Structure 1
Amino acid sequence: MAKHEEKFKDDLSKVEKWKRALHRAANFTGFVFDGKKYEHELIGKIVEVVSREIKRVALHVADYPIGLESQVSEVKSLIFSDGYDGVHMVGIHGNGGSGKTTIAHAIYNLIANGFESICFLENVRENSYQHGLVYLQNMLLSNVFERKNLKATSFLQGISTIKHWLQQKKILLILDDVDKPEQLQALAGKPDWFGRGTRVIVTTRDKYILESHGIERIYEMENSNSESNISASDGKDNGDQLGEKNHFPRSSQ
């Protein structure tokens, strides 16, 4: 690296990128065979992980996203403000056409590989009206468990099935365009439905839906008549929290 710094002394940012890449590579955790299980079980696990990441297709993001990088950075800071453990829910609130879905796509592309399973449910509002909540529950289950034939036949059975199968899984769940509290109750009722490290991201035009569900980490789009891009509620007075940037209450959500 010292030689590279001398060679590229007019563009040291390039060398800094290489240093960061090497640092990340050195800290990767590999698969360890301890001899306690059969080798084919470890190989099967490796194949499953690699296959999952290879077939993960990036979602489309706007061709000319003005200011997107800074917005994504702020949302990411909300998502991981308390580290990587626990189960956290984050809301993205803004008017129609404000770019909520674009940010959700960009966040998905940025962090999806860090999760055991992922599910991006778009058009929650439209699908809920056209097909019902059980349809959405089954979409969630089929996205997370591609090889299992998990089907719910009722709203309550869907809740029980989701809780039973997802409690031990670290997943990234993005619910786009939510407009009714019952949609969140059907798909992400409580943090204890999911395994440690899970992140649930909800986009909506109605901030009350987020607050009524106990979601305290909320990113405000610029055109949503908010005094600050990021707001957090401590459950006492939501209005007093506006403008307190980078104040993130510690909670299970």
Structure 2
Amino acid sequence: MSNLQSTPSSSTTAKYDVFLNFRGEDTRDCFTCHLHSALQQKFLTFIDDGLEKGEGIWPTLKGAIEQSKISVVIFSKDYASSKWCLRELVEIMERKKMHNQIVVPVFYHVDPSDVRKQTGSFKASFDKHGNESQALCGCLSLFSNKESQEEVQKWREALTEASGLGGFDSSKTRPDTTLIGQIVKDIETKLMSENTPHDIKGLIGHERIKYIISLLCLDDVRTNVQIIGIWGMGGIGKTYIARAIFENISNQFEGVCFIENVRERLQNSAGLVSLQKEILSQVFKGKNLKLDGPIIPSIIKEILNRTGVLIVLDNVEDIDAYLPLENLVWGVDRLGIGSRIVIISRDKHVQQLCGVNDQNIFEVKGFKDQDALQLFCNCVFDKNCPPEDRMVLSNELINYSKGNPLALIVLGKSLYRKSKQELESVVNTLRTNLNRGIFDVLKISYDGLDYREKNIFLDIACFLKGQNRDYVEKILGDCHCSLSVLIHKSLITISNHRGTIQMHDLLEEMGREIVSIESPNNPGKRSWLWRQEDVQNTLKYDEGTSAVRGIVLDL
């Protein structure tokens, strides 16, 4: 995974995901406004809206840059005419140099070479910073009567350096909505490489990934269809490993697809056909192929039969209760020579039913103590090891997490910047539960939510998982901030695809267990009813109470 960004190291706690650097008069009311809105859907974003320029604002801007993980610099026609933009840029590039902050340049209706060489409109702006005879000196400064040559030279160097970074050019990506979508996706990828197990080579393990790839026998293109399995408990990192493998090898196949949440999608009445359509859409890159039922046209069969494809199926559970893998991919023997299938499941028996040989099933185990400590400490303390006076507490907490990355991340983020006394309180809570498991560790984060955040978490776990964020906010009303809290505590995520709200299966199961415990023997007294049997009995016998927030009906 050489394309992953290195993890920014900073002695300052990150308060924001993204800092926006732009010239307001050029782009605030159009491009930047729309970009900021898109970023706010997923990330904590700093924008200097409403701040009056003046010396008193500089510490706020400087602090925001220092406390951001990524800076997005929007170069526009008159960008260089703003001394504030240039001063922020110098600070951003200094932050990149000293603390490895990620910088994403966007060239909006401006030639990157004009930025790099300070030609065109950028030359005109620099000329205005000086007088007619000496562009590097003269003119009033924000601080003194004259701008120094040294400061102007820093501006030039920052522009040259920033414009040399990989970024986005509006002349090559149109319209703006497409450009904004690509920027948001790029930032999400960069933040994922920082926040999810922090170093894929060090924590997930480069050798582990290489071994799984070796099971696919990619060197032997004459090999018939090969199926391998990735097996392990929920939250252990199966999907993350599969994604890393997919990104490494997908360019070796004529068609590829990565299908998430197979279990949930098969439960719907149109689940099989929907999944087959999704596989065809991804394999054939979105071409409109007609598929009205599980029997696919012979022409598509012929194409599949001569096409080497990579198919990754995530969260394949209880497949014997639904439909066999043969139906899902129209018969493994119908795929082209060299095709590979990866089955991801918590259940080893399911993988065996799918035709995976035991020697081709890779078990993902929990992190070793040192790796678990590093991941936990990155989430809690923003560094690889804890303060000396919290070492014992940290080791006890990671012991309860059993090396499970999801538990480490969720627990760690719930304890972010907490005092030693608060850590001790959590440890004491876990100590009192003799039958503690992963759910108990995850519930620590849930218990730290306020009343409204808890309700929204349960709403998502019981009903709204997979729904578009805008739709959820419309239903629940005024929940944008609460959703942001859940995102930053790693209790939910927003998918790249259509901005839907996603929640890990373990967290979903925990949420539903919390609701079930509200009234173990009388579902009508619970806040949510999602099992069809419970819904039918409650309505039939008029057992519902005012406690019910919502029911899920399968019509």
Query: Shared fold (TM-score greater than 0.5)?
Result: yes
How do residues 19-98 of structure 1 correspond to structure 2 at under 5 angstroms?
62-64=196-198, 65=200, 66-80=203-217, 83-86=220-223, 87-98=225-236
Distance change in 2, residues 1:113/1:81 (3 Å): closer
TM-score by length of 1: 0.58
Indicate which of 221, 226, 234 corresponds to 2:364.
221
* 2:276–2:329 Cα contact (<8 Å) kept: no
Letter in 2 for 1:79: L
| Cα shift readout 1:73-125 (whole Å, capped 9, x = no counterpart) | 11011111773322211111111111110111000111111111111111111
Distance change in 2, residues 1:117/1:213 (3 Å): same
Q: Quick one: distance in 2 between partners of 1:190 and 1:123?
A: 21
1:148 aligns with 2:291: no
* 1:152–1:161 Cα contact (<8 Å) kept: no
Indicate which of 249, 267, 275 corresponds to 1:136.
275
How far off is 1:173 after superposition?
0.8
How far off is 1:169 after superposition?
0.5
Distance change in 2, residues 1:219/1:122 (3 Å): same
Q: Quick one: distance in 2 between partners of 1:173 and 1:154?
A: 20
* 2:324–2:354 Cα contact (<8 Å) kept: no
TM-score by length of 2: 0.28
How far off is 1:148 after superposition?
3.4
Q: Quick one: distance in 2 between partners of 1:203 and 1:162?
A: 26
* 1:79–1:199 Cα contact (<8 Å) kept: yes
SS at match of 2:349: helix
* 1:159–1:186 Cα contact (<8 Å) kept: no
SS at match of 1:214: coil
* 2:228–2:341 Cα contact (<8 Å) kept: yes
* 1:137–1:158 Cα contact (<8 Å) kept: no
SS at match of 2:355: coil
Q: Note the residue ranges of structure 2 that are not aligned, 5 or more in a row.
A: 1-181, 367-555
* 2:257–2:282 Cα contact (<8 Å) kept: yes
Higher share in helix? 2
Q: Note the residue ranges of structure 1 that are not aligned, 5 or more in a row.
A: 1-54, 224-253
Indicate which of 191, 197, 221 corresponds to 2:338.
197
Distance change in 2, residues 1:219/1:166 (3 Å): same
How far off is 1:211 after superposition?
1.0
Q: Which residue of 2 aligns with 1:10?
A: none
Decide which structure has the larger Cα Rg and report it.
Answer: 2
Letter in 2 for 1:218: I
Q: Quick one: distance in 2 between partners of 1:142 and 1:96?
A: 28
* 1:128–1:183 Cα contact (<8 Å) kept: no
Identity between Structure 1 and Structure 2 (%)? 36
Q: Quick one: distance in 2 between partners of 1:191 and 1:184?
A: 8
Q: Which residue of 2 aligns with 1:100?
A: 238
* 2:213–2:245 Cα contact (<8 Å) kept: yes
SS at match of 2:315: strand
Q: Which residue of 2 aligns with 1:211?
A: 352
Distance change in 2, residues 1:111/1:146 (3 Å): closer
1:117 aligns with 2:274: no
Aligned length: 167
* 1:95–1:205 Cα contact (<8 Å) kept: yes
Distance change in 2, residues 1:189/1:221 (3 Å): farther
SS at match of 1:169: coil
Distance change in 2, residues 1:220/1:101 (3 Å): same
* 1:134–1:158 Cα contact (<8 Å) kept: no
1:188 aligns with 2:329: yes
